[in-house]
Amino acid sequence: LIMLDIDNFKRFNDGWGHAEGDRALQHLGKVIEEVVRDIDPVCRYGGEEFVILLKERDEHQALDIAERIRKGLATTPLTLLTGEQVLLTCTLGVAKRLEGESASALLRRADQALYRGKYAGRDRVVLNASGGVASTTS
Asked if residues 35 and 69 have their Cβ atoms less than 8 Å apart, the reply is: yes
CB burial class (10 A; 0-12, 13-18, 19+) of residue 81? exposed
Q: Is 48 a catalytic residue?
A: yes
Distance separating alpha carbons of residues 41 and 13, to the nearest angstrom: 26
Q: How many whole angstroms separate alpha carbon 137 and alpha carbon 132?
A: 16
Distance of CA 45 to the CA centre of its chain: 11
How many helices (H) and strands (E) the chain has is answered by 4, 8
Which is the catalytic residue, given 33, 34, 48, 56? Answer: 48
Indicate which residues carry an active-site annotation.
48
